[in-house]
Structure 1
Amino acid sequence: MSSAPVPSTEDNVVHGLDYPPDFLSSLSVLLSRPHPHTPIRALSASQFATIHHTAINSHAPDHVLFPFLHGLEGDNQQQNAFFSVTSDTPVIPPCFRGLIWVACEDDDTPSSDDGEDSDTVASDDSDDEPGSDGGDMGHSFALDIDMDIDTDLDLDHSHRPEAPSSPASTSPSLRPLDTTCDSDPDNALHMHPVQPRAPRIYTNTALARDRSASASSSSTSSSHSFSMPSPSTPGTSLDSPPPSCLPLGPPSPEPRPHTAPLIASGFAPRDILQLNADGNAEFVPLRVPDGISLRNFDIQLPIYATLSDIIVYSRRGATRAAFALAEKFKQAVEARAGSRIPYNVFVLDATPVELRTKLKHLLVGPHTINFAQREKDEMRELTRATEILTVHAPGQDDKSVDVHPWTPGLGQVFLGNVNDVPFYPGNPSDPLARGIDLLDSAGNSPLDGMGYDVCIECRVRAPRPALGFLLSAQEHLMELERRWQASGGKGPRPPPNAAAIVYLPFPLIPIVDEMTLFLEFLEKLLNPTQQRGFGRPAKILIWSSDGYTESSVLALSLIMAMRSMTLPEAYLELQVVKKRSFFVYETDVRLLRAVEGRLARERHAKLPSPRRFLFGPTRANSLSSDFNSSAMSASYEDPGNAPIVSMRRPRASTSPLLPSLVDDHQVWFDDPRFDGSFPSRVLPFLYLGNLNHAGNAYMLHALGITHVVSVGECALIPPPTDSAPGVAVAPSPTKMPSPVAASGGSDRRGSLYIEEREGRIKVLDIKGVCDDGIDTLEPQLAPICDWIDRAREQGGKVLVHCRVGVSRSATVTIAYVMKYLRISLIEAYLIVRSRRLSVLIQPNMRLLYNLCGWEVKLAHERAAGDMERLHRELARCSNWPYLAREVYLLNEKYLHA
């Protein structure tokens, strides 16, 4: 396996940042250096804006930087051998120049708006000739500061705006030689200039703690605990409130940003420099992790810095400390010299006022994104409380009753996350003694006036639902109804006060008897025909911390019980009809199958369960014998012990193309390629999945998917032809073949190969793209996105897949989301990341770099020749080293959990 060669015709072409012939000579020289080294020069704010625009706009083709960026200069021989590179002849980009800007925080005290500091050295625009001593400015600096000076510089990360302001403290010096190159765990939150979003209003204790922690201390993304679990970790790590009410104090104030401006997507000196044994500055040495990795995002900054021009700036202007830091960088650049092109070091000579006026599109501000917080917000928005079940009175249905998100008089179940749970802001242990009006809905309207009677928290280690606790909850709701009637209230009872909500725990993996007991309890609260003193049907919120991991099992079980559906039908009801994304692990399918079997046998027998009397008038006489005999079983019930009776219903629009000979949805559900969860719905018409999803053609029909994009993994595999001797079935061009005929007589599974040949599903098969860090998607993103767009315009739905659904297909999906929603790479990446639910997407480095180039291409398309708009569009484009580091920090909490 070898790397793509660099064409010899490009050997003398400077890729990336390239200056006009007279640009560098026009800049003021701050400190001259002997040939062949370049001097330290001054940049104005306008000149920095020009350089930034040029650097982002001149995205180098990926073959210029890859495979070098994988870390071929390190001592990882396995990595080098994988890319067919020896340690003696590393593939160093011959002519590439990047751009990095570094903040010198010589003083934590914000500067005044007029921007002139006592130690700021004004720029001198005297006639300095190239190669001269630098005129008065160069001499004035040279008299006071020497290249070997060991000036203490502020190298921490407190210059980021999310960090709270603090008194000035002793600044640490450059890191010693033997320290690691990992990012400092105390650095601040993650930022990038993209479009702002309205802040969320946090209404519960867990999120209040979350915001308070962010405000009280700076932290990396790995310190944020909102969990999108890795595929091997079904649990989540966000602190979930206990099932009882918790006090809620006033929300913590937002961290106060520095008044002086800060340029977004920059770095601190310690991220790039360290002191060697002689006390001189050098670039942080490259430490490539052991083994072969295509996702070494943590080493991108040290590599990229050695191929870049460095701009040093201070929020206080062109200070002496900024110049001293520039000298340190000059030491490192000259020690690294040997490239075909020289690299430069600049000092930004601009006051805070000039930064605000001339670089306002590049500064940290309200438009700046916090990677970790945006990931949380996207996930919470995706799984916010939505109605998944409405129970009508006899003779009513969705057409005869105007059903709103919250409809009085109807039993309703909502599925949500921790942000949707109302908590009483006080001590609810004795609400009556405190004179609380239990019928006052204060604090119990988290979404559009909705209020809940019961909130069920699903989590792994939740206590099992004790029968006595359920009976107490039932009695509590009946007491609320009696109080409402006694108060002379008319109409349906309003939602109770937050202190009077019933909070119930429910474990992720209960036993079958406990599940059916709990389902019967909920059915009693929801069913309008069995009120018996309850008053109006209940409003129930089922929730887990992330909104899907622990709560999907209970939600599906309740739909099966209340709607008399099979498990596959419940899947489609939740995903297609209710448009609610969810995730079920393979280990949970067995429990769901057992619950399905129990419910089907009870419906088939048409006999009430003995436990139905637990909640009736004579329940006290049956508590001991029934509960002890049924609820103490510690094993799943095997649904194979008795036949499962399929409660069929018209398929309507949920599966319009299933062959008529396939009698129910069990076909695709029982397919060994089905792993318990659907592909991830990223947009209403766009799914992201794996190779097994693409091969399960009947499942694709059930979801309404009409187009498939196969990225490097062909799903068009002919079905087996193990038919019985003498049996030959020819496919008909006019009639859909039976699944038996399509598979050769013995396999009832659907085949994408057959469906594509018959024209029922269109397939775009992208060949020759391996997830190996060598193959590129750069030239194919545009035609793939155009193909998806045509499918959308035709009313189709598209599945994009590779083998696992995390790298190649994720790259294509991110590219399309960027184009369709007209958003930045960072926003699209976090949207797709959140919608992949429990699967952690991660394009390999080369593919993520392809998306940086795609972002520049889209910026030009949107600008359509308008240079002012192009400046704005490119200002929010991703800087590769910054993007790589933020992705690494965002993934670290999952990869090292």
Structure 2
Amino acid sequence: MATILARPTTLPGRSTPPPGHLSLNTSQRGTPAAIPNKHIPHCSPGPRPASRLISSPTSPPSATPGTETTSLLYPPTGYKKASVSDVPVYALSGTQLAQAFDHLASQPLPSAKHVFPWLHGLHADNQLQLAFFIARKKSLRRTPRGLRGITIVKAGGDLTHSKLKGAIAPEEILQGPSTLRDRPEECFLECDPREGFSVRNFQIQACKMATVSDIVVYGDAGTSAGEVERLAGKISKAQRAWQRRLEGPNNTERPYNTFVVTDSYSYLETDHADLIALDSEGCMTSKVMDFFHWERLEMCAMSAPAEIASNVWLGPTPDPSIAGHEVLRTDDVPTFDIMIEASDIAQIPDSRTYDVLEDLLEGRTQIEMAEGAVPQLEFPGSGAIMPPTWSQNEVDGLVEACSWIYRQANGVVDDRKRRDSKMSLGAEVDSDGDSAMHLDDSSEIDGRKILIHCTDGYTESSLLALAYFMYAECLPVHDAWLKLHMDKKRNFFAYSSDVALLKAIQPRLLQASPKHTGAITQLCPLAPAWLERMDGSLPSRIMPYMYLGNLGHANNPGLLKELGIGQVLSVGEPLSWEENATGEWLPEKMLFVDKVQDNGVDPLWSEFSRCLEFIDKGRRNGTVTLVHCRVGVSRSATICIAEVMNELGLSFPRAYCFVRARRLNVIIQPHLRFTYELLKWEELQCEKRGKPMKRELEWATIAREIAAMNKPYSRQG
């Protein structure tokens, strides 16, 4: 028997502790939690770049090309020395730290050509990485000049509370006591990968940037000043050892220094709230953007509950931690009478389950629910019923679920013989062969409001939602797919197995539909050619005028036409249409950006303006544009992020989460260089709007957060 639960009503919104997976260090409680059904696709880097691109690729212009980023912490002559005896460590007040942060955020970043390929990670023993990026140009392995940051380290390393903006744990940059005699006891981690090839080494950026940063150490209320100073002393020694390693043992220069925060964390919470990511209780303050939290908000905003048929709504599982947030549309969302959760582990409900639930709804049972609780039914999620091995019971259960939902939503109690007979496709007949006459044994009740939901609001619930939409509106598969997306404005993902299943049982669903006219031709309409070429997923609607997709979407012109897409922007991957398909598309409706591979070397910055002008021209003419590359997660996603920043005025971190949430089950993966170029694009957006430039988050923090978000989906575990 399937499970019936009573879900409590949404709790009042309040500041809540974040999940225990905001950091890459292992000292935190909890592990990263993956959103069901999302995955990181493989992105081929393409052929090895030509030598001319390796030596001097086009890069974003810098306001101060070739000059060093200035810092209020260097030189440290204006700061008092802390009481660390054998190494230089300086004292820093909360006010001075806030000023240093603000100054750094206003400094233009060096151009990409000055920091790449160094940021990719170029370990001396990694011949594959070296051969791809620098060939015989050993000078490109050197630490770039002009790159300077501020790294915040929390003594004790517990980042589940009392976390400053961008803070990391000591073990993320320092290695333990070395067993090698020629190494000092305190030194930075060797973070560049020794083997393998990657253009997405986001996980090493915090450590790499620590080697070119002034480092600030602080503690929480439970950490003594002595512990903070001891850690600062170790870091100062590591800085000195690293500099000697790079410049030689006789070098006495200290371009980077170590500081300790002398003010208490409670003082920082009170007087410098903009620095606080997590307060002393472990609650998010909303003063510092959190990638996990913002992705969840954007996901719920994109898939907010909406009515897809009379009294039947589709949306995400209610989340008390974000209830009432300003980005969520909740004004027109009703109080639901029944909630149906789609889940991979759920079973098909049987007739007894429905009887129990109806008794509960009608008060015909002694079971008492808590005040405000909503009865919840579970149903198998998308992809759970697999062709060609599905059982007849599963198909019967899906059809019965649609019928039961319809009766509840439309206030109909119907005890008549079901019309979804598996043997007959025609109207019911009596023993004489005439059309059967029915007594009016139906009665009406008030229709109940029903929410079909799952965690993300667009994946696991899609099979049941599509099946019900077909049943309630008597629509064939292809019409249901399009109307749910176009007319009901729903972004959703379904598996190819869902397409096959719904196509196979389409006659049964449509015959059982209350809107079925009895015509056999209504049950098996001719399927369009584009449906046969679709794997279940539509391209992702990022903006009303812009879709993001893969090469398969782009090579399905019939689907593009049905979606109202009239322009195609191809980034690095040409189309391969049949000749008869190209006639309806004028050349000015196609733009191909050539010579851009996903290799971490080819720049995309120089194409931003041309691509965005193409998209904007289409929008002004009322034309929707598809932006695609091969997989639809790196090159094309970069263009879409740039457009969202340009159109909505969002910072790069927020635009990244905006697009990531709307790419549905596929995780966007702009590589390191594209990500850096987008951070430079943010500078240009500020200049364009006449606003003072102030990055919301710094490069190391952004890269670290992206790495933490991707970790649950990584093949490397």
Native 8 Å contact 1:97 1:343 kept in 2: no
Partner of 2:78: 27
Task: Give the direction of change, closer, same or farther, for the CA distance of 1:447–1:592 in structure 2 (3 Å limit).
Answer: farther
Native 8 Å contact 2:471 2:513 kept in 1: no
The amino acid across from 2:201 in the alignment is N
Partner of 1:874: 694
CA distance in 2, matches of 1:13, 1:688: 34
Q: Name the SS for the 2:191 alignment partner.
A: coil
Partner of 1:370: 290
The amino acid across from 2:117 in the alignment is P
Partner of 1:458: 342
Task: Give the direction of change, closer, same or farther, for the CA distance of 1:669–1:325 in structure 2 (3 Å limit).
Answer: same
Q: CA deviation at 1:380?
A: 2.7
Pair 1:283-2:112 in alignment: no
Native 8 Å contact 2:618 2:624 kept in 1: yes
Q: What do residues 156-198 of structure 1 show as CA deviations (whole Å, max 9, x unaligned)?
A: 234xxx52xxxxxxxxxxxxxxxxxxxxxxxxxxxxxxxxxxx
CA distance in 2, matches of 1:450, 1:280: 62
TM alignment of 1:591-630, pairs within 5 A: 591-600=501-510
Q: Name the SS for the 2:151 alignment partner.
A: strand
Native 8 Å contact 2:218 2:228 kept in 1: yes
The amino acid across from 1:668 in the alignment is W
Partner of 1:799: 626
TM alignment of 1:314-329, pairs within 5 A: 322-329=228-235
Native 8 Å contact 2:346 2:378 kept in 1: no
CA distance in 1, matches of 2:343, 2:270: 51
Q: Name the SS for the 2:147 alignment partner.
A: strand
Q: What do residues 697-731 of structure 1 show as CA deviations (whole Å, max 9, x unaligned)?
A: 2222222223322221122x4525xxxxxxxxxxx
The amino acid across from 1:157 in the alignment is D
Partner of 2:550: 690
Query: Which residue of 276, 299, 308 corresponds with 1:379?
Result: 299
Q: Name the SS for the 1:570 alignment partner.
A: helix
TM alignment of 1:30-45, pairs within 5 A: 30=81
Q: What do residues 722-763 of structure 1 show as CA deviations (whole Å, max 9, x unaligned)?
A: xxxxxxxxxxxxxxxxxxxxx2xxxxxxx3x4333276xx22
Partner of 1:769: 596
CA distance in 2, matches of 1:769, 1:96: 27
Q: CA deviation at 1:513?
A: 3.0
Structure of greater Rg? 1
Q: CA RMSD for the aligned pairs?
A: 4.1
Pair 1:413-2:413 in alignment: no
The amino acid across from 2:302 in the alignment is L
The amino acid across from 2:703 in the alignment is A
CA distance in 2, matches of 1:505, 1:13: 59
Q: Name the SS for the 1:4 alignment partner.
A: helix
Q: What do residues 261-297 of structure 1 show as CA deviations (whole Å, max 9, x unaligned)?
A: x641133333212333466310012251642211111
CA distance in 2, matches of 1:309, 1:477: 63
Query: % of aligned pairs identical?
Result: 31
CA distance in 2, matches of 1:861, 1:354: 37
Query: Which residue of 120, 136, 139 corresponds with 1:70?
Result: 120
Q: Name the SS for the 2:339 alignment partner.
A: strand
- Worse-superposed segment, 450-459 or 582-591: 450-459
Q: What do residues 798-825 of structure 1 show as CA deviations (whole Å, max 9, x unaligned)?
A: 2221111111111111222222222222
Q: What do residues 92-136 of structure 1 show as CA deviations (whole Å, max 9, x unaligned)?
A: 2442332122345xxxxxxxxxxxxxxxxxxxxxxxxxxxxxxxx
Q: What do residues 581-606 of structure 1 show as CA deviations (whole Å, max 9, x unaligned)?
A: 11111122110111223345678997
Q: What do residues 818-847 of structure 1 show as CA deviations (whole Å, max 9, x unaligned)?
A: 222222222211121111111111111111
Q: Normalised by the size of structure 1, how large is the TM-score?
A: 0.59
Native 8 Å contact 2:510 2:516 kept in 1: no
The amino acid across from 1:273 in the alignment is L
Pair 1:270-2:130 in alignment: no
Task: Give the direction of change, closer, same or farther, for the CA distance of 1:529–1:42 in structure 2 (3 Å limit).
Answer: closer
Native 8 Å contact 1:100 1:308 kept in 2: yes
- Worse-superposed segment, 826-835 or 502-511: 502-511
Pair 1:332-2:238 in alignment: yes
Task: Give the direction of change, closer, same or farther, for the CA distance of 1:374–1:593 in structure 2 (3 Å limit).
Answer: same
CA distance in 2, matches of 1:45, 1:584: 51
Q: Which runs of 5+ in 1 are unaligned?
A: 105-153, 164-257, 391-411, 422-445, 484-494, 610-641, 648-663, 721-742, 744-750, 865-869
Partner of 2:714: 895
Native 8 Å contact 1:77 1:87 kept in 2: no
Pair 1:755-2:600 in alignment: no
CA distance in 2, matches of 1:70, 1:339: 18
The amino acid across from 2:592 in the alignment is D
Q: Name the SS for the 1:810 alignment partner.
A: helix
Native 8 Å contact 2:54 2:134 kept in 1: no
CA distance in 2, matches of 1:289, 1:542: 48
Q: CA deviation at 1:324?
A: 4.4
CA distance in 2, matches of 1:505, 1:354: 51
The amino acid across from 1:679 in the alignment is P
CA distance in 2, matches of 1:280, 1:697: 63
Q: Name the SS for the 1:584 alignment partner.
A: coil
Native 8 Å contact 2:151 2:210 kept in 1: no
TM alignment of 1:546-585, pairs within 5 A: 546-585=456-495
TM alignment of 1:664-813, pairs within 5 A: 666-670=528-532, 672=533, 674-715=534-575, 717=576, 719-720=578-579, 743=580, 751=581, 753-757=582-586, 762-813=589-640
Partner of 2:212: 307
TM alignment of 1:226-241, pairs within 5 A: none
Q: Name the SS for the 2:583 alignment partner.
A: helix
Native 8 Å contact 1:478 1:533 kept in 2: no
Native 8 Å contact 2:548 2:632 kept in 1: yes
CA distance in 2, matches of 1:806, 1:680: 11
CA distance in 1, matches of 2:372, 2:220: 48
Q: What do residues 181-222 of structure 1 show as CA deviations (whole Å, max 9, x unaligned)?
A: xxxxxxxxxxxxxxxxxxxxxxxxxxxxxxxxxxxxxxxxxx
Native 8 Å contact 1:375 1:834 kept in 2: yes
Native 8 Å contact 2:652 2:679 kept in 1: yes
CA distance in 1, matches of 2:165, 2:570: 37
Partner of 2:451: 541
Larger relative contact order (C-alpha < 8 A, sep ≥ 6)? 2
Task: Give the direction of change, closer, same or farther, for the CA distance of 1:44–1:460 in structure 2 (3 Å limit).
Answer: closer
CA distance in 2, matches of 1:891, 1:561: 38
Q: What do residues 330-365 of structure 1 show as CA deviations (whole Å, max 9, x unaligned)?
A: 322222226578522042566459967986544444
Partner of 2:682: 855
TM alignment of 1:474-489, pairs within 5 A: 474=358
Native 8 Å contact 1:557 1:595 kept in 2: no
Query: Which residue of 69, 80, 100 corresponds with 1:17?
Result: 69
Task: Give the direction of change, closer, same or farther, for the CA distance of 1:368–1:556 in structure 2 (3 Å limit).
Answer: same
Partner of 1:180: none
Task: Give the direction of change, closer, same or farther, for the CA distance of 1:273–1:893 in structure 2 (3 Å limit).
Answer: same
TM alignment of 1:136-535, pairs within 5 A: 154-158=155-159, 162-163=160-161, 258=162, 263-274=164-175, 275-277=177-179, 280-288=185-193, 290-313=195-218, 322-337=228-243, 343-347=255-259, 351=263, 361-364=274-277, 365-390=285-310, 412-419=311-318, 450-474=334-358, 498=372, 501=375, 503-506=377-380, 508-509=384-385, 511-527=394-410, 532-535=442-445
Q: CA deviation at 1:891?
A: 0.8
The amino acid across from 1:155 in the alignment is G
Q: CA deviation at 1:15?
A: 4.5
Task: Give the direction of change, closer, same or farther, for the CA distance of 1:477–1:413 in structure 2 (3 Å limit).
Answer: same
CA distance in 1, matches of 2:238, 2:448: 69
The amino acid across from 1:874 in the alignment is K
Native 8 Å contact 1:452 1:501 kept in 2: no
Q: Name the SS for the 2:584 alignment partner.
A: helix
Native 8 Å contact 1:18 1:97 kept in 2: no
